[in-house]
Amino acid sequence: MENNSELITVLQELKEENHKQQKLLEKQCRLTRNLGLLLLCLVAAVAISLVTLLPRAASTLDELNVVVANTQEITEQLKNADIEGTISNLEAMDIETLNKAINDLYQVINPLASLFSRD
């Protein structure tokens, strides 16, 4: 009889352990399912982000290409510009004669301006 009671005790312990393992497996299954759903949501968010951001990135790259092309064109124009000739033309300009011409023009226009003013 004693062997039977020991056997029953061992079997009950095995049943309890089996029950604990069953509960842990159910919990693990729920956690795995939740993790799978979370991963699915993450993949969906990344896919939606890619779908919305890729056209914007392509547009930005196109605009950047236009800017680079314009910059290269401006650089080429600056290379071909005759800056020394322009500076020599500015130096050759007679500033005093220019100032005298402006003053003469002012002298002519000032009486006309006062003639047409509505004072």
- Predicted confidence (pLDDT) per residue in 37-85, tens digit: 999 999 999 999 999 998 888 899 999 999 999 999 988 888 877 777 7
Q: Kindly state the tokens that stand for 7.
A: 């056997």
Output the average pLDDT for the chain: 88
Higher pLDDT, 56 or 94: 56
Q: For 97-104, what is the mean pLDDT? A: 88
Least confident among 13-22, 26-35, 69-78, 81-90: 81-90
- Domains in the chain: boundaries: 84-119
Q: For 24-31, what is the mean pLDDT? A: 96
pLDDT score of 98: 85
Token pair 């009889």 is found at 1
pLDDT score of 30: 97
Please state the length of the chain.
Answer: 119
Residue 118 pLDDT greater than 60, yes or no: no
Host H or E run for residue 81:
none
Higher pLDDT, 89 or 21: 21
